[in-house]
Amino acid sequence: MLCLGIEGTAHTFGIGIVDSRGKVLANASRTYVPAKGGIHPRDAAQFHAANARAVLDEALKVAKIGIEDINLMAFSGGPGIGPCLRTAATAARALASWLNVPIISVNHCVAHVEIGRLTEGARDPVTLYVSGGNTQVIAFDAGRYRVFGETLDIPVGNCLDVFAREVGIPHPGGPNVERLAREGKRYIPLPYVVKGMDLSFSGLMTEAVRKHRAGANLRDLCYSLQETAFAALVEVTERAVAHTEKKEVMLTGGVAANKRLREMLRFMAKEHGAKFYVPPMELCADNGPMIGWTGILAYKHGVRHKLDDTVVKQRQRTDEIDIPWRSG
């Protein structure tokens, strides 16, 4: 069986082609970069619509197959930006009805975990998923992926990006903050906010910008921002590991590129005798294969979606989704 997975929750429009044994035959994508500021929902959706055909052609070419070889369609049903989700869903529905194949709506966060389990061989990890649009600590329990902790306001990637933009660090924010942070020497105290198992980054971001305006050294600030934000992430992940007694920790999402965050999490995992995994970056970022693979898992375990079930959900939660392939 070959599944074509379409990812389109935010700035990346991706198409992956995956077979039922988990072989990734293609991973094609294009990413919308706003002229200035953050993602403009309608512009991003128009970008997806304008690039869908080229990404599809590239995926088929790389996989060396024809569109008629596809037996299953999957797409990112949520959570994400409404116009982007609707564009990806429309493309998926059109292809599914034209090819007359089943269609599966896939949760984006679940897909991030599943592609990591596939490629890294992690069986039952506590996953820290950190990106421009999401920040969650996820682990499987009683039939679903449970959210052990999450941000109460902005995602950590957004915190880094907005900080960068506000203080004049060029795009892309996250990697440039990381580079500057390596030259930071002095820790500047910043608000560290962990509430129960949840996190908050908006006050941290505002205060870091304020300290910059008050004349603090930019390299020291980048260093301090990373140390503060990442320590909070590691604290919550560590408590999930201690509570669940799972022996695997996985890091994914765009912020997984950060070497300092990797180092801190690896250290924590080691202290708990847990293995540490990070998928290759092209599968940590938003990608089509993760949607295709999760579509295959769902289909093989009896999940069937009618067209009515393919309405997108901007706020779909990780723990709303039954995971039959891991139950029993």
Q: How far is the CB of 254 from Mg ion (least distance, A)?
A: 7
Phi, psi of 267 (to 5 degrees): -60, -45
Q: Which is nearer to ligand AMP, 178 or 227 (CB)?
A: 178
Residue 90 interacting entry, from ligand AMP, Mg ion, none, C-beta within 5 to 8 Å by type: none
The token duo for 128 is 């820290």
- x/- map, 190-229, Mg ion, by CB under 5 A: ----------------------------------------
Distance CA 317, CA 221 (A): 33
The residue type of 227 is E
Residue 115 interacting entry, from Mg ion, ligand AMP, none, C-beta within 5 to 8 Å by type: none
Distance CA 73, CA 96 (A): 6
* Count of other CB atoms within 10 angstroms of residue 210: 12
Distance CA 293, CA 256 (A): 21
Find where tokens 């693979």 sit: 293
Residue 104 host element (H or E): strand 103-107
Q: How far is the CB of 174 from ligand AMP (least distance, A)?
A: 2
Among 163, 201, 286, 296, which residue sits at the site for ligand AMP (rule: CB under 6 A)?
286
Among 29, 264, 286, 299, which residue sits at the site for Mg ion (rule: CB under 5 A)?
286
Candidates 15-23, 157-165, 198-206, 231-239 — which segment interacts with ligand AMP by CB under 6 A?
A: 157-165
Among 172, 191, 203, 324, which residue sits at the site for ligand AMP (rule: CB under 6 A)?
172
What b/e string do you get for 290-325 counting C-beta neighbours within 10 Å, with b at 16 or more? Answer: bbbbbbbbbbeeebebeeeebebeeebbbbebebeb
Residue 201 host element (H or E): none
Among 45, 257, 274, 321, which residue sits at the site for ligand AMP (rule: CB under 6 A)?
257
Total residues contacting ligand AMP by CB under 6 A comes to 19
Q: How far is the CB of 31 from ligand AMP (least distance, A)?
A: 8
- x/- map, 124-153, ligand AMP, by CB under 6 A: -------xxx--------------------
Q: How far is the CB of 245 from ligand AMP (least distance, A)?
A: 29
Distance CA 208, CA 177 (A): 12
By Cβ distance, which residue is nearest to ligand AMP?
Answer: 254
Query: DSSP for 250-287?
Result: EEESGGGG-HHHHHHHHHHHHHTT-EEE---HHHHSS-
Does residue number 294 form part of the binding site for Mg ion (CB under 5 A)?
A: no
Does residue number 8 form part of the binding site for ligand AMP (CB under 6 A)?
A: no
* DSSP single-letter state for residue 170: P
For binding to Mg ion (CB under 5 A), which residues are involved? 131, 286
For binding to ligand AMP (CB under 6 A), which residues are involved? 12, 131-133, 157, 160-161, 172-175, 178, 253-255, 257-258, 285-286
